[in-house]
Amino acid sequence: MTLPSIIIPQYTKEMQVITQLVSEHGWGSSYAVNSTDISIYALANCYQDLPPNDCVQCFLISCSTLPTCLPAVSGRVYLDGCFIRYDYYNFFGETTDSFKDKVNCSSSFGRAVTDSDQLALAAAAGNLIENVTKKAINENDGYAKGKLNGVYGLAQCWRTVSKQGCRECLDKASEAIKGCLPNRDARALMAGCYLRYSTHNFLSHHSQATNKGLSKGVIIVIVFAMIAFSMLFLFVAYVARKKSLKRKQEFINLGKISNSYKRSSLNFKYEYLEKATHYFDPSTIVGQGGNGSVYKGTLPNGKVVAVKRLFFNTRHWVDEFFNEVNLIHGIEHKNLVKLLGCSIEGPESLLVYEFVPNKSLDQYLNDKNKIKVLSWKERLHIIVGTAEGLAFLHGGSDMKIIHRDIKSSNVLLDENFEAKIADFGLARCLAADKTHLSTGIAGTLGYMAPEYLVKGQLTEMADVYSYGVLVLEIVCGRKNISLAEDDSGYLLQTVWKLYTTNQVTKALDPILKDDFSPEEVSKVLKVGLLCTQASVTLRPSMSDVVQMLTTFGQPIPEPCQPPFLRSSSSIKRFVSDTLSKLDESCISSAMHSSSDGPHIN
């Protein structure tokens, strides 16, 4: 155990620094690094209405809570008075994190029941959220609190976040937290900020400042916190060291890729793409993939491109980069996003694609405002186009390409609403002489085929299953799995019940009204059910699907009951349990002013 003994003294010194900073200024950030280049970054931030002694006590409580995040290599603790986070990379400027940000719709104070109560709460909470976020961004250095018609609110950006970052974080937080209504209490726990509304006056218990010294009990907490942090750092340092060794090997692999592409026509200079995106200005972001952000860029010749920026701390980023470049750089099809090139020589790797102006399909299906409603004709065109793209990928005589993550956010739409399959980071090749691949589970819950989810057996039929789920979502205009409290949470279940009673057209998105052909809707939903059969042998190939959808009078076999058709509560429990197991970091939301108690994800 030589490595931890080298790091602990320096780490303890850094923690003393951050403790001093919190006691003096209400916040502090620091990092510890040793001769092996292993770094631990930490940030603590009290909310600005907290008196100094209360701030220190809140900080110490959060310190003692943080070890519950083990064995994760990163963690966050949100208390009603402060926030603390540790990680092995510099996160100080982060505003949002699509994987780890969360909204807690608390049930401690119940829900507004009557229509009038719900309207009153929605109006008061909505206006209050807008008021405190606006004040925090524009007037009060990232912090604001307020009260309106019996609703209390607080907004706080971390002090390491820029004003623009604070705006982005609170805008996203306010949009997300409004989804908790009519709950009377909710919190948005973001990478760069914290936002809460409640009908309970959670602000009052912080209003009384005190000049008394720290009590004996607090001193005990300080000692415990320092011991807990030392134990935490021992573990993190060990894991970080293993990650460091693995990272070195990944850089070696990347070097091999780099040598192959430096002199090829696929290679773009990093500076060239940096200028094209205005130095990765946040205003040019057009999408967020599973392993990086996508920026709109304009090359000197006027050509508009999409630049995907892959960060080195993304899990398996070398593997995914290799897939993106080597699997699709030579593939051309009207229903696949074309890869134009890449850049490997800068601080992060970049992939360059053709620009697809109408963004992703999910933004139309999940748009609550329905700014643009996809007609039945457009939906059918997208369904057929996606099928043709997958049939092309699966159609190789020597090698089949399995996408492994077909979903609405990975289907882009061009200016004519032609479907284009994107994001091949998880794709795998299946040789013609192989029946399947045995591989670790990757993809998106709700779209993964049962044989792959349970046994890890991957074939092109996993894509067929995902496609079937996508078809049902496009036709019905809703997500496959909803964690709402009503019993209509599982789309596959709903469509199957309607199909067995000859009412399948009732599953159609009601916003389409009469603008559709009942025969076409029935046929497409039948194809969707057929693609989601539990048995691999009962699912059609994607080439067969194209024939069924495009050939008049083509016979379609009768589907059997799809898999996982059980009660919605069981489905939700299954999804929640699986999400918890797949989460690689710890986010602890300890609500000491409510009866919820600590929440560890």
Query: Which residues are identified as catalytic?
Result: 405
Q: Which helix (H) or strand (E) holds 7?
A: helix 2-25
DSSP character string of 416-478: T--EEE---TT-EEEETT-S-EE----S-TTTS-HHHHHH-EE-HHHHHHHHHHHHHHHHHTS
d(CA 334, CA 197): 48
d(CA 169, CA 161): 9
Handedness of CA 385, 387, 388, 393 (dihedral sign): positive
d(CA 453, CA 560): 20
Q: Beta strands 82-87 and 586-591: pairing type?
A: unpaired
d(CA 537, CA 547): 18
For residue 16, give the nearest of 48, 42, 47 by alpha carbon.
Answer: 42
Q: Is 308 annotated as a binding residue?
A: yes
Q: Beta strands 457-458 and 586-591: pairing type?
A: unpaired
How far is residue 207 CA from its own chain's centroid? 36
d(CA 58, CA 80): 9
DSSP character string of 498-562: HHHTT-GGGGS-GGGTT-S-HHHHHHHHHHHHHHT-SSGGGSPPHHHHHHHHHSTT---PPP-PP
Residue with tokens 């701030």: 55
Maximal CA-CA distance, the chain:
84
For the chain, the distance separating the N- and C-terminal CA atoms, rounded to the nearest angstrom, is 30
Output the known binding site.
Answer: 308
Residues annotated as binding site for ATP? 308
